[in-house]
Amino acid sequence: MDTLSIRVWAFMVDNRWHYPAEMEDHFDNKHTWASISARARDFRKEKWNENLMLSEPRGKGLFRYQLIPRGSAYWHAMDPDERERLLEEQRNRRFYEKIAWVQERVEVAISFLRANNSSRALKVLEGIYHEE
């Protein structure tokens, strides 16, 4: 677990809704929203105990985010059916995000093959294989 992950967890574990700008400010703008949100998305993964990471649109492309740690009081207070529905929705979203990522990497590999750079294409494809 890296330092940024620990800091994002400590900031979000309060079960409150958080906005991207608020999180960037909290980290003194030393980290971009992309790096902060990547660590927050990690909390949904199995190796992080598959916590619930909710996102809610707030209009004009703005979202807010809430971390609900598995096993917390807030987790147990949720309706079990609703909690399972949200987890399943989260799993499906991760699945489709992963498919899109793999498709993107394959397109990159194909572009290297078209440029007669098979060694680069192979490295891109190996990266897909070694990704968790």
Q: For residue 48, what is the domain's CATH number?
A: 1.10.10
Report pLDDT digits (tens) over 27-54.
877 788 888 888 888 888 888 888 988 8
Rounded distance, CA 37 to CA 128, Å?
21
Output the CA–CA distances (angstroms, integers) from residue 7 to 35, 39, 64, in the order listed. 12, 10, 18
Confidence of residue 17 (pLDDT cuts 50, 70, 90): very high
Are 65 and 117 members of one domain? no
Q: Which amino acid is at 115?
A: A
- Boundary (domain end) residue, out of 55, 77, 99: 77
Are 49 and 97 members of one domain? no
| Mean pLDDT along residues 21-25 | 87
pTM (two decimals): 0.66
- Boundary (domain end) residue, out of 77, 94, 120: 77
Are 91 and 102 members of one domain? yes
Are 95 and 129 members of one domain? yes
Are 65 and 115 members of one domain? no
Rounded distance, CA 128 to CA 101, Å?
9
Tell me which residue range forms the domain holding 93. Answer: 79-132
For residue 102, what are its two tokens? 């793999």
Question: Residues 98, 91: contact at Cβ < 8 Å?
Answer: no
The answer to whether residue 1 scores a pLDDT higher than 80 is no
Are 24 and 61 members of one domain? yes
Report pLDDT digits (tens) over 78-132.
899 998 898 888 888 878 888 888 899 899 999 999 999 999 999 988 888 776 5
Confidence of residue 55 (pLDDT cuts 50, 70, 90): confident
Q: Which residue has the tokens 């003194």?
A: 28
Are 37 and 100 members of one domain? no
DSSP conformational letter for 72: S
Backbone Cα Rg of the chain: 18
Output the CA–CA distances (angstroms, integers) from residue 70 to 10, 26, 63, 76, in the order listed. 15, 24, 22, 8
The answer to whether residue 20 scores a pLDDT higher than 60 is yes
The strand pairing partners of 65, in sequence order, are: 18, 55
Looking at the 3D structure of the chain, how many domains does it have?
A: 2
